[in-house]
Structure 1
Amino acid sequence: MARPSSSSAGAPESRAASIAPKAKRALYRWLPPDRIAIAVRTAIAAMVALAIGAALPDGLSDYAYAAPLGAFITVGTTFFTIARAALQQALGLVLGAALGMAMLWIDIPALAKIGIIGAVGVVLQGAATLGIGASVVPVVAVLVILFGGADPDGYATGYVGQFTLGLVVGVLVNALARPPLWDREAHRRINSAVLELAERFEELADTLRGEWPPEREDWAGWGAELEGWVDALADDVREARESRRLNPRAKFRPHDVERDAEAVAALRAVVHRAIDVLDALSSAAWAEPVAVSIDEAERQVAADAIDALAAHLRAWEELDGIEQASDASAKAIDALYEEAVTRARPESGLAAVVFALRAIRSRIDREAASAASQVQSP
C-alpha cells in the first residue's frame, strides 16, 4: 500500500499555519490593544457621566443626554492631550453659550444672527488657546438660539453644565484607568532604527564588493526613506513627551525623554551624511547626479569603512564595545583617506565619501559617549 505524500498531507496544516499569523497581524492593525483600551475607557466614562447627569436636581437632569457627549470627546493617545482638549472644549462651550445668549438679546433678523455666529466662530479658530474648542462655539450658540425657547438661560446652563460634567468625568476616568505612557515604546523604536540603519550600511558595503555598476538600484534612493524614519521617530518622541505630562504614572516610571530626543537628533545628522555617501556612490555607478570615478580597489576600501561604521552603530545601540568599534572605524576611514590621497584624481568621488564617513563617526561617538554617561550617572 502506497504511503501518502508527506507534502500533500501537510499542505492544509501549512496553509493554516501561514494564514494564522497574517490574520493576527490584520486584526492587530485594525484593532490594536491601545485602541481597544481607549474604547473601553470612553464607554465607561460615558456611562458614568450619564448616570451622574441623570441624578442631578433642579431640572439639570433634563439635559443629561449632553453628559455622555462630553465624555465621548475625551479621547486621545495621551492624558495631557485629553485634559487639554477637555479644557479647550469647556471654554468653547462657555463662549458659545454666551454668544447665543447675546444673539437672543439683540433685536436683528435671524439671518444676521447666523452670519455673526459664523463670523465669530471662524475668527476664534485662529485663537491658539481655544484650539479645538473653537469648533464648538458656533454649534452651541446656534443650539441656544434654536432650542432655548422661553428659558434660554436654563437651556444654556443645563447643556453647558452637563457637557462639562461629561468632560470632567472623561478626564478623571482616563486619569484613573492606567493612562498610557509611550516613552519606552519610543525608546525601543529608536534602538530598532539604529540597528536597521546598521543593516543598510552592511547592505551598501556588500553592494560595493559586488559587480559594478550593480544591478540593484534601490539603495540609491534610500535617502527619502531614511529621512522618513527620522521624522517618524521625532513624532514618537513628541508623543512620548506628551504622554508623561500630567500623567500620574510618570511619577512611578522615570524615563529621560530628552535623552531620546538627543538620540533622534544624532540619527538625523547620521542620515544626512549617509545621504551624501549614497549620492557619491550612485554618481560613481550611474553618473547621477554628477559623474565621478571610484575604481574597484577604492570600492573595496570604502566597503570596509562602511562596514566598520555599521559595527560602530551597533555598539552605540548596545552601549557595549564603543571605544573598540570607534577605533576600528577610524582606522578603516583613514585607510580610505590614504587610498584617496595616494591616487588623487580630479574626478574621484572619494573625498566626499571620506568627509561624510568621518562626520558620521564623530556624531556616533558624541552621542554614544553622552548615552554612556547618562547610564553611569546615579
Structure 2
Amino acid sequence: MRRAVAAAEGRWVRHPRWSLALKGAIAAALAWYVGVLAPAPFSDYPYYAPLGAVVATTSTLARSVRESVQAILAILVGAVVARGVDLVLAPSALSVALVVGLALLCSGWHRFGQMGTWAVTSALFVLIIGNAAKVEFVGAYAGLVVVGAAIGVGVNLLVPPLPLTPSGDALARLRDVLADQVDSLADGLEGDLPPSPEQWQERRREVSPTLAQAREAIARTREAARANVRLRRHRDRAATQVRRAAALDTAAEVVDDLVRLLVEWESTERDVVALGPRLRPSAATALRAYGRALAGVGPGLVDQGVLAEVDRGVDALRREVLRTRQEVDEDYFVAGAVVLALRRGAAALAAT
C-alpha cells in the first residue's frame, strides 16, 4: 500500500498539469456557484465567472495575478471597442469585421502580454451576445470575470505551484546529455588517429533542446517561488536546485566549447591538429574524469573525490601541453583552450 501511495505521489509531482487541472476545475466550480448566487443582472450570465477563474489558475501565483489583471484590461478594451462600433453601425458583417480588426490591433499592445486575445473575445461577445442589453451585459461580463479571477488567485494562493520535481528531472536529463557528450569526445581521442569530420559528427549530441527545456523549467520554478508559502518547507532544496542549474548551464557552455575546439581542430582533414598523438591520451583522461563528475551532479553534493580526479587530470594535461610546447616549436593555443575550458567546468561543479 505504501509503495503504491509513494508511486502515485511521485507521478503526481512529476506532472504539474494534473494539479493545475484540479485547481482550475475547483476554481471554475466555485466561480460558477458565486455567479449563480450573485444578484441580477450578474446571475443571468454566471458562465463568465469560470472564465476568469481559469485564467488565474493556469500558471504560477505571481503570473496568475499579473495575467488576471492583463486579461481584465483586455476585456474592458474589447468591450469599449464593441460599444464604440455599435454606436455607428448596426450589427452586420461590416461591424463584426471592424470590431475584430480594431480588437486585434489593440490585442498587440505589450501591456496585455499573452492575454491580448481576450480583447477580441470580449469585443465579439459584447457586440453579438450583449446587443440586447448593452450596459447590463458589459457590467456583468467584466464583473464576473473579475470575481472569477479573484477566486482563481485565491485557490492558487492556498495551493501555489512549486514544480521542483519537474525542474529537477529536466536538470537530470541535461546532466545525462552533457556527460554522454563528454564521454563521446573522450572516445574520439582514444584512437591512434583523430576522428574524421564524419566520425566527429556521429559523436555529437543534440544538447540545445535539452538545455532549453532545463532553462525553461528552472525559470518556471523561480517564478513559482515568488510569494510562495510552500517555499519555506523546500527552501534548501530550491537553493540547491538553483546552484545545480547554474553549474549545468556553465557546463553546457564548456561542453559546447570542447565540441567546437575538438571537432574543428582535432580532425584527420587538418595537417596541424590541436592535440596530436602525444596530447590526445591526456586529454581523453581529463575528459573521462570530467564526464564522471558531470554524471554525479545530483540533488546532493558533488563527490569531492571525483572533483579531485578532474583537477588531477586537467593538471596533467596542462603539464603535458607545457612540455610539448617546449620540445616542439608550436604554440598549442587550442590545446591550452581545452585546458581552460575543463578548468572552468570543474570550478562550476565545485561551486554546487
What TM-score comes out, normalization by structure 2 length? Answer: 0.79
Which runs of structure 2 are paired with 1:28-39 in the superposition (5 Å)? 33-39=15-21
Residue 55 of structure 1 and its aligned partner are, at CA, apart by 0.7
- 1:44-76 deviations in whole A, cap 9, x for unaligned? 112111111101112321101222233334443
Structure 2 residue aligned with 1:375: none
Structure 1 residue aligned with 2:313: 329
Instruction: Answer whether contact 1:270 1:360 (CA < 8 A) is retained.
Output: yes
Structure 2 runs not aligned, ≥5 long: 1-6
Query: Which of 64, 71, 76 does residue 89 from structure 1 map onto?
Result: 71
Instruction: Answer whether contact 2:31 2:148 (CA < 8 A) is retained.
Output: yes
Structure 2 residue aligned with 1:17: none
For the residues of structure 2 that align with 1:179 and 1:335, how far apart are their CA atoms?
Answer: 53
Residue 337 of structure 1 and its aligned partner are, at CA, apart by 0.4
Equivalences, count: 336
Residue 112 of structure 1 and its aligned partner are, at CA, apart by 5.1
Runs of 4+ in 1 over 6 A off after TM superposition: none
1:344 and 2:316 are equivalent in the alignment: no
Structure 1 residue aligned with 2:267: 284
Instruction: Answer whether contact 2:196 2:267 (CA < 8 A) is retained.
Output: no
For the residues of structure 2 that align with 1:36 and 1:115, how far apart are their CA atoms?
Answer: 39
- 1:190 partner SS: helix
Structure 2 residue aligned with 1:103: 85
Which runs of structure 2 are paired with 1:181-330 in the superposition (5 Å)? 181-183=162-164, 185-187=166-168, 189-190=170-171, 193-194=174-175, 196-210=177-191, 212=193, 219-220=200-201, 225-254=206-235, 255-256=238-239, 259-260=243-244, 262-280=246-264, 283-285=266-268, 287=269, 290-293=270-273, 295-311=276-292, 313=294, 318-321=301-304, 324-325=308-309, 327-330=311-314
How high is the sequence identity, in percent, across the aligned residues? 23
Q: Which amino acid in the other structure matches residue 266 of structure 1?
A: T
1:98–1:207 CA distance, 2 compared to 1 (3 A): same
Q: Which moved more, 1:105-114 or 1:328-337?
A: 105-114
Structure 1 runs not aligned, ≥5 long: 1-23, 372-378
Structure 2 residue aligned with 1:13: none
1:52 and 2:54 are equivalent in the alignment: no
For the residues of structure 2 that align with 1:275 and 1:97, how far apart are their CA atoms?
Answer: 56
Instruction: Answer whether contact 1:92 1:137 (CA < 8 A) is retained.
Output: yes
1:125–1:174 CA distance, 2 compared to 1 (3 A): same
Residue 332 of structure 1 and its aligned partner are, at CA, apart by 2.0
- 2:234 partner SS: coil
Q: Which protein is bigger by CA-based radius of gyration?
A: 1
What TM-score comes out, normalization by structure 1 length? Answer: 0.74
1:216–1:32 CA distance, 2 compared to 1 (3 A): farther
1:101–1:280 CA distance, 2 compared to 1 (3 A): closer
Residue 265 of structure 1 and its aligned partner are, at CA, apart by 4.0
Q: Which amino acid in the other structure matches residue 50 of structure 2?
A: P
Structure 1 residue aligned with 2:46: 64
Q: Which amino acid in the other structure matches residue 258 of structure 2?
A: A
For the residues of structure 2 that align with 1:58 and 1:316, how far apart are their CA atoms?
Answer: 60
Q: Which moved more, 1:47-56 or 1:235-244?
A: 235-244
Query: Which of 167, 176, 179 does residue 160 from structure 2 map onto?
Result: 179
Instruction: Answer whether contact 2:32 2:49 (CA < 8 A) is retained.
Output: yes
